[in-house]
Structure 1
Amino acid sequence: MSRRIVAASLTAEAFAPFGDVIEIAGEPDKIINQGQCGRFHDRAGVDFGDGRAGISLFNANPRSLPYQLDMVERHPEGSQAFIPMTQHPFLVIVAPDVGGKPGKPLAFVSSPGQAVNYHRGTWHGVLTPLHAPGLFAVVDRIGQGANLEEVWFDDPYEVVLG
Structure 2
Amino acid sequence: MSAPVTSIRAVPLTAEAFAPFGDVLEVTDSYDKLINAGMCERYHDRATLDFGPEGRAGISIFRARARALPYACDLLERHPEGSQAFVPMTAAPWLVIVAPDAGGVPGAPQAFLPEPGQAVNFHRGTWHGVLTPLAEPGLFAVIDRIGATPNLQEHFLDRPFTVTL
Q: Residues 12-27 of structure 1 correspond to what in structure 2 (within 5 A)?
A: 12-27=15-30
Aligned-pair CA distance for 1:105: 0.6
Aligned-pair CA distance for 1:34: 0.8
Q: Distance in 2 between matches of 1:150 and 1:61?
A: 19
Q: Counterpart of 1:102?
A: 106
Unpaired stretches in structure 2, ≥5 consecutive residues: none
Q: Residues 74-153 of structure 1 correspond to what in structure 2 (within 5 A)?
A: 74-153=78-157
Aligned length: 161
What whole-Å deviation, never above 9, does each CA across 1:18-44 have from its counterpart, x for those lacking one?
000000001210100011100000110
Q: Distance in 1 between matches of 2:51 and 2:89?
A: 24
Cα RMSD between the aligned structures? 1.2
What whole-Å deviation, never above 9, does each CA across 1:101-142 have from its counterpart, x for those lacking one?
110110000000000000000000000011111110000000
**Is 1:159 equivalent to 2:140 in the alignment?**
no
Moved over 4 A (4+): none
Q: Does the 8 Å contact 1:88/1:112 carry over to 2? A: yes
TM-score under structure 1 normalisation? 0.97
Aligned-pair CA distance for 1:52: 0.2
TM-score under structure 2 normalisation? 0.95
More strand as a share of residues: 1
What whole-Å deviation, never above 9, does each CA across 1:8-64 have from its counterpart, x for those lacking one?
110100000000000000121010001110000011010122210000001111111
Unpaired stretches in structure 1, ≥5 consecutive residues: none
